[in-house]
């Protein structure tokens, strides 16, 4: 009686095999991209805090896919991906360093989740995009950037310092340079409620770094988008008095400027104003929409059940360099009402931006 034995691959063989598979995938992707007509600059953009991309794919994907098909953005910026980063070694140890550019797939459950996600992204309309990830160690935070394959970025980095191999903690930044503009996708840390390291102090440091970034990178027009976790003016919240006096368990911060709902404290709003002013930046939505819109003027909505029912904030933005403001054709929020219509399962709705092309058609070479 013959016995058949399955050859057990060594770890080194597995790694080599996986590397070859990745190389083949990249070669196929490159071949596909070579077949696509190259365009110079993107003109249509979308940003969305998905509040778990995997959950949106499981529960709301057909509706969101239809929305993307209809708007047909050149670039899609996603925040709160909430997919954990892969290990950067063969070790499954929780303490092993992470590869924040890749999705975790070293357990049965993570492999299945990644399979479901990648299958969804391979289908129309998402198969037309190249995707970059910057992920946290756990199912928390994280960002993604989808760019149509017809656009060829000059560089992509994942930190405000523009260091090639570095990712921000929790995967909060993707910075992409095109020929004549750069786009910054950020998931800004929430201010929190207290004078603590992971609350007010963390947000102050972040705002300081963003201010330094916009001041030091004015060589090219900027589009800064994402969940910026701040409502700049009273017009940007549905109930200013409610948000300005909100407390958590009765806690009162030592400084009056830190009172209120995270995202609507005087301190955050003042720092945001300084970033816009010193960076010579324009709030694209407010540039076009001067009046308060209680139906469609907010990008985040509180839980329909409880004291936050009907309480809404505009905390998702497209911020553009002043040089681009006359090119703004439209900037819209696509959710409305307190029942979260157009939010596709998230607590944030998509926001879109459209720019007009330059005098020379952006898809043609100057004659």
Question: Which domains are seen in the chain, by residue range?
Answer: 44-355 (3.60.10.10)
Catalytic residue among 129, 187, 285, 317: 187
In the annotated binding site, the residues are 49, 80, 227, 229, 347-348
In this structure, are residues 203 and 192 in contact, taking their beta carbons and an 8 Å threshold? yes
Any catalytic annotation for residue 334?
A: no
Six token digits for residue 130:
């190249």
Query: What does the pLDDT read at residue 212?
Result: 98
Give the pLDDT mean for 68-81.
Answer: 98
In the annotated binding site for Mg(2+), the residues are 49, 80, 227, 229, 347-348
Q: In the predicted model, is pLDDT for residue 28 greater than 80?
A: no
* Model confidence pLDDT, tens digit, residues 322-365: 999 999 999 999 999 888 999 999 999 999 999 999 765 444 44
Global confidence as pTM: 0.89
Spatial neighbors of 272 by CB under 8 A, at least 6 apart, are 207, 228, 230, 232
- Distance, CA of 253 to CA of 286 (rounded, Å): 30
Cis peptide before 28 (omega within 30 of 0): no
Any catalytic annotation for residue 227?
A: yes
Catalytic residue among 74, 227, 258, 283: 227
Six token digits for residue 237:
């919240």
Query: What does the pLDDT read at residue 90?
Result: 63
């Amino acid at each position: 009686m013959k016995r058949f034995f399955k050859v057990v691959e060594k770890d080194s063989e597995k790694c080599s095999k996986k590397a070859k598979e990745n190389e083949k995938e990249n070669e196929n992707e490159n071949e596909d991209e070579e077949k696509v007509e190259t365009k110079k600059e993107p003109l249509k953009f979308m940003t969305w805090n998905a509040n778990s991309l995997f959950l949106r794919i499981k529960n709301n994907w057909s509706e969101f896919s239809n929305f993307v098909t209809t708007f047909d953005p050149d670039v899609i910026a996603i925040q709160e991906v909430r997919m954990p980063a892969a290990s950067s070694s063969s070790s499954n140890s929780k303490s092993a360093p992470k590869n924040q550019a890749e999705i975790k797939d070293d357990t049965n459950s993570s492999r299945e989740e990644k399979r479901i996600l990648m299958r969804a992204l391979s289908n129309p309309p998402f198969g037309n995009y190249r995707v970059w990830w910057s992920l946290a160690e756990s199912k928390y935070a994280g960002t993604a950037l989808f760019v149509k394959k017809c656009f060829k970025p000059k560089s992509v980095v994942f930190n405000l310092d523009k260091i090639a191999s570095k990712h921000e903690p929790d995967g909060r930044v993707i910075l992409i340079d095109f020929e004549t503009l750069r786009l910054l996708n950020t998931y800004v840390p929430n201010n929190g409620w207290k004078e603590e390291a992971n609350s007010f102090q963390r947000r102050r440091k972040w705002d300081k770094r963003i201010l330094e970034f916009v001041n030091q990178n004015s060589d090219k027009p900027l589009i800064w988008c994402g969940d910026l976790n701040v409502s700049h003016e009273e017009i940007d919240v549905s109930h200013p008095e409610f948000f300005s006096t909100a407390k958590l368990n009765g806690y009162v911060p030592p400084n009056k400027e830190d009172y209120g709902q995270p995202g609507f404290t005087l301190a955050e709003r003042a720092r945001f104003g300084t970033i816009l002013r010193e960076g010579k930046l324009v709030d694209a939505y407010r540039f076009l929409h001067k009046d308060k819109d209680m139906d469609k003027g907010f990008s985040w909505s509180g839980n329909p059940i409880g004291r936050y029912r009907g309480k809404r904030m505009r905390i998702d933005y497209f911020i553009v360099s002043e040089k681009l403001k006359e090119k703004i054709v439209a900037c819209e929020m696509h959710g409305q009402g307190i029942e979260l219509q157009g939010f596709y399962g998230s607590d944030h709705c998509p926001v879109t931006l459209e720019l007009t092309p330059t005098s020379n058609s952006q898809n043609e070479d100057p004659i």
